[in-house]
Amino acid sequence: MQLLKDRIRRDGKVKAGNILKVDSFLNHQMDIDLFAEIGKEFFRLYGDCGVTKILTIEASGIGIACITAQFFHVPVVFAKKHATKNIAGDVYTSQVASFTHGTTYQIRVAKDFLGPQDRVLVIDDFLAKGNALLGLIDLIEAAGATLAGAGIVVEKGFQDGGALIRAKGVRVESLAIVESMSEEEGVVFRE
């Protein structure tokens, strides 16, 4: 998606440790007009897949998932990273190791919101090692739901997550795949 690539080149910042900061428009301050274009593109890619739910993980994926859901006219469910009093009861859980935060946490979704009748599209802002996506897929499988695919805004193609997930037979559509990046040379996209 050229609009997204141009925005990353203009406003993204590469930091040491393979960190691509896009917090000025994607995952801290959110450019809703850009999100609308992202949502339209995910709908173009998955609109004929019978999606009944969009699933993401808190927190960065929620905004993108919500805007995308407007095009599908389906609810968004987000996996919570922390136990709360309002998600007591029966839940699906999975362990996720976070590359960005350097920690492992348990994600959870209430069983009331995900079931065998659902065709689920996963939406997330980044795909690097694939741990978050694998955790979300675990939740979908535990619910007996069907995975329609995964829509990723930015994939770090030089890390193994995308290849790992695709090798499992999952359809992954990434709008911008970063081939390489460095503080000196910026971001190089896979074409």
Alpha carbon 41 to chain centroid, angstroms? 14
Please state, in angstroms and rounded to a whole number, the distance separating the CA atoms of residues 145 and 141. 6
pLDDT at residue 107 is higher than 90? yes
Q: Look at the pTM and tell me if it is higher than 0.75.
A: yes
Directed axis angle between helix 60-72 and helix 32-46, to 10°? 60
Q: What is the pLDDT of residues 17-41, one digit of tens each?
A: 888 999 999 989 999 999 999 999 9
Instruction: Quote the pLDDT of residue 179.
Output: 96
| DSSP codes of every residue in 161-187 | HHHHHHHTT--EEEEEEEEEEETTTEE
pLDDT at residue 115 is higher than 70? yes
Under the banding of pLDDT at 50, 70 and 90, the label for residue 88 is: low
Q: What's at 134, amino acid-wise?
A: L
* CATH numbers and ranges of domains, the chain: 2-189 (3.40.50.2020)
| Mean pLDDT along residues 166-182 | 97
Write phi, then psi, for 9 (nearest 5 degrees). -60, -40
Least trusted range by pLDDT, from 52-56, 57-61, 121-125: 57-61
Instruction: Quote the pLDDT of residue 98.
Output: 77
